[in-house]
Structure 1
Amino acid sequence: MSKLMRKFLLAVIAPLLIMGVLSFGLTAFLVNRFAEDERYSQLAREANIIEEALTENRPVPREIQGFITTNGVTERIGGRGRQVVDLPILEDLQQEDVIEVQGNRLLTYQVTNGETVITTIREAPLASSALDGVYVAIGIAFLVTLLLAAGLAYYMGRQFIRPIIDLRAVAKQIGDGQKDVVLPDRPNDEVGELISAVDEMQEQLVQKEVLQKSFIAGITHDLRTPLAIIRNETEALAAGVIPVEELPEVTDSIIEETDRLGLLIDETLVYSKLAGGMMPLDRTEVQLDRLVQETVERLQSTFQKDGLRLTVVTEPVQRFLDRRMFERVLVNFLMNAHVAAPSGSEVRVRLVSNELTVDDAGSGVVEADRATIWDLYVKQAGGSGHGLGLAISRLILDSHGLTYGVRDSELGGACFYVRFKE
């Protein structure tokens, strides 16, 4: 039996056991109390019969048990007739009372007729064998009910717990690296939702593995290409096969490829630090409209060189954020728009009190890709970057607690946006 099944049975049976014991005790108490009331009524009737027999000077019925005390002399009546007894315990009894005789609990009832005291006595119901059958019946019913409840709980528990046990085995297979695992049937309850969540997790793990392999392949390619160019041109320089007039072009190419390597390494390190929480944010009050204006002015020549119009509309906005990190996000949005926008079109930056947007007139981002483009090393169609820019932007924006995304632009392409909390 599994630990979960034992806990389930304990959770079901323990309350039933407590409830049964309490019910049995309460029932026994009520039955005994009712029986006592009936017994006192019987004793009162018997005392009246004795009193009437003494008044009419006729014998007391032999089946009635009692005592008659006159002038300090007590006689026992019933059964063998009258017998004088010494029972000081009968003195100072109330009308309805309880006494202990040789370990037996007895109920008494007294009436006074002149100088004569009549006492009737009977065994208490709780100690009476007449109620033993009632208690046994209640106990048997309780035991049978408990066994049936335990059996039903065990059966139902197996139905509830089997998918969880199967799911544990599936989770172990997933942890061992198996991809094609068969999930248990999904009941229409929270367990089914858990199985669905594990299924979704498995799909995400497969996607993450594909992305990881893609990242390794992509980063390897992006490192190998500039290194190969640098090596070839350096070897050509060392061999002296490059004409003097081509030296500036070759050295410029080496510098350009070195810068590309440096940028790739810088982006990889930034992503690693952000993902590992090793790059704390330096938040200050930032005049966001001024930051946007300065960034746009710095990139204006780059856009103009490729025939793009970079426009900006801002309102005075002040927010508490890391200036350098947020500028990195804005530059990434702008450079993505620079790549996507066709020559002669407009790239528009707009800042209002609760939102920053970057619109372009490119081909846009299809609905199915709008969630995955923020993942590591996922490039936009036609992109020339390393696939790290949006992944880094996502980490920066998440660490600021901001809402962000991409939607269709009024210019016909994509609109990347960041929303600020009011």
Structure 2
Amino acid sequence: MSKLMRKFLLAVVAPLLVMGSLSFILTAVLVNRFAEDERYSQLAREANIIQEAIDGNQPLPRDIQGFITIDGQTQRLGGRGPQPVNLPALEKLQQQDVIDVQNQRLLTYQLKEGDTVITTIRNAPLASSALNGVYLAIGVALLVTLLLATGLAYYMGRQFTRPIVNLRSVAQQIGAGKKSVPLPERPNDEVGELIAAVDEMQEQLLQKETLQKSFIAGITHDLRTPLAIIRNETEALAAGVIPLDELPDVTDSIIEETDRLGLLIDETLVYSKLAGGMMPLERIETRLDDLVFDTVGRLEATFEKEGVALVAEAVPVTRRVDRHMFERVLVNFLMNAHAAAPPDSRVIIRLTETELTVEDAGRGVPESDRATIWDLYVKQDGSSGHGLGLAISRLILDSHELVYGVRTSPQGGACFFIRL
């Protein structure tokens, strides 16, 4: 039996046991109270019978247990007839009272008529064997009910815990690296939703693995290409086969490919440090409008080369951000817009009190991709990047606890936004 099953049974059976025990005790008390009332009524009738026998000068009944006191003399009734006894405690009894004699609980009833006091006695109900059958029946009913409830709880518990236990096995197989593990049947409840979540997680893991392989293949190619160019041109330089008038072009090419390798390595290291929490943010009060205009001023010439106008619209806004990291996000958004924007179009960066947006007139981002483009290794169609830029931006914006996303811009392209 699984631990979850034991907890489920304990959660069901324990309250039933407590309620059953309390019900048994309460029933026993109520039955005993009712029996006591009936017993006192019987004692009163027996006392009246004795009184009528005395008034009619008839023999006293021998089947009634009790005492009769006349002129201070007490006699015991029942058994072999009246017997003299000395019981001063009888004088202290109330009309209906309880006494203990030889560890027995007795009920008493006194009927006073002048100098005559008639005291009838009988065993208390709880001490009576007549109620043992009632208590036994209640106890048996309680036990049978508890057994039936336990059996039903066990059956229901197995139906409830089986998919969870099976799901644990599925999780262990997924953790061991097994792919496409069959999932248990989904009930129409929260457990079914949990199984659906695990199924979605499994699909995402497969997608991540596919993307990771694609990224490794892509980054390997991107590393190999500049390395091959650098090696070939360096070997040509070493062999002296390059004319002197071509040396500046060759050296510029080597520097360009080296910068490309450096950028790729830098982005990979930045992502690794941000994801591992090894790059703490230095938040300071920053004029975001100044940051926007400075960034646009540095990139404006790059946009103009492609015939794309870079337009900035900003109002004064101050926020506590890491200036260097926030600028990195802006540059990434703007360069993505630059890559997507068609010639003779505009890329607009707009800053208001509540939002910063970068919009272009390109093809936009399909709604189905708007949640995944922020993941590592994911690249938009036609992108020349490595799938690191937006992943780094996501980590930076998450660390600033800002809401961000992408929607359709008024120009029909993509509009990346950051809510401030």
TM-score, with length taken from structure 2: 0.97
Corresponding residue for residue 172 of structure 2: 172
User: Residue deviations 1:313-339, cap 9 Å, x none?
Assistant: 111111121111111000011111111
Unaligned runs of 5+ in 2: none
Q: Which residue of 2 aligns with 1:386?
A: 386
How far apart are residue 13 of structure 1 and its match? 0.6
Residue type of the alignment partner of 2:161: I
Residues 279-324 of structure 1: per-residue CA shift (max 9 Å, x gap): 1111111111111011101111111122111111111111121111
Once residues 3 and 404 of structure 1 are traced to their aligned partners in structure 2, the CA distance between those partners, rounded to angstroms, is 43
Give the stretch that moved more between structures: 403-412 or 268-277. Answer: 403-412
| Large movers: runs of 4+ above 4 Å | none
Q: Is the 8 A contact 1:218 1:377 kept in 2?
A: no
Distance in 1 (CA, whole Å) between partners of 2:317 and 2:213 is 42
Alignment of 1:187-198 (within 5 A): 187-198=187-198
Tell me which residue corresponds to 1:62: 62
The one-letter code of the counterpart of 2:275 is A
Taking the aligned partners of 2:361 and 2:248, their CA distance within structure 1 comes to: 37
* 1:82-97 alignment, distance < 5 Å: 82-97=82-97
Shift of 1:79: 3.8
CA distance in 1, matches of 2:355, 2:206: 35
What's the counterpart of residue 117 of structure 1? Answer: 117
The letter of the residue matching 1:415 is C
Query: What is the aligned partner in structure 2 of residue 146 from structure 1?
Result: 146
Structure 2 distance, partners of 1:51, 1:124, is 23
- Residue identity in the other structure for 1:417: F
Q: Does 1:40 align with 2:33?
A: no
Aligned residues of 2:215 and 2:386 also touching (Cα < 8 A):
no
Task: After TM superposition, give the deviation of residue 345 of structure 1 in Å.
Answer: 1.4
Partners in 1 of 2:59 and 2:363 — Cα distance? 120
SS in 1 for 2:177: coil
SS in 2 for 1:258: helix
Could you tell me which residue of structure 2 aligns to residue 291 of structure 1? 291
Q: Is the 8 A contact 2:404 2:419 kept in 1?
A: yes
The alignment partner of 1:138 has SS state of helix
SS of 1:76 mapped into structure 2:
strand
Alignment-derived partner of residue 340 in structure 1: 340
Q: Is the 8 A contact 1:9 1:153 kept in 2?
A: yes
1:156, CA displacement in angstroms?
Answer: 0.6
**Corresponding residue number in structure 1 for 2:356:** 356
Give 2:69's aligned amino acid: T
Output the CA distance in 2 between the equivalents of 1:240 and 1:104. Answer: 125
Matches within 5 A, 1:268-347: 268-347=268-347
Deviation larger for 33-42 or 361-370: 361-370
Question: 1:244 is matched with which residue?
Answer: 244
Structure 2 residue 205 is matched with structure 1 residue 205: yes
User: What residue identity is the alignment partner of 2:372?
Assistant: T
Distance, in Å, in 2 between the alignment partners of 1:60 and 1:196 is 87
Bigger Cα displacement from structure 2, 84-93 vs 65-74? 84-93
CA RMSD of superposed structures (Å): 1.3
- Report if the CA contact (8 A) 1:364-1:412 is conserved: yes
Unmatched tracts of structure 1, length 5 or more: none
Q: CA deviation at 1:377?
A: 2.0
**In structure 2, what is the Cα distance between the partners aligned to 1:151 and 1:307?**
78
1:418 is matched with 418
How many correspondences in the alignment?
420
- Letter of the 1:319 counterpart: R
Q: Deviations over 1:60-107 (max 9, x none)?
A: 333322211223322122343222233344342222111122221111
**Farther off after superposition, 120-129 or 174-183:** 174-183
More deviation, 63-72/255-264? 63-72
TM-score by length of structure 1 reads 0.97
Pick which of 71-80 and 375-384 moved more.
Answer: 71-80
CA deviations over 1:248-301 (Å, ceiling 9, x no partner) = 000000001111111111111110011111111111111111110111011111
Moved more, 59-68 or 292-301: 59-68
1:105-138, Cα deviation, whole Å (9 max, x unpaired): 1111112222222110001100101111110110
Query: Is the 8 Å Cα contact of residues 170 and 181 (structure 1) preserved in structure 2?
Result: yes
* Contact 2:180/2:202 (<8 A) preserved: no
Q: Distance in 2 between matches of 1:377 and 1:233?
A: 31
Distance in structure 2 (CA, Å) of the matches to 1:36 and 1:349: 92
8 Å contact from structure 2 (residues 379, 387) kept in 1: yes
Deviations 1:342-384 (A, max 9, x none): 2221111111111111111122222222122111121221111
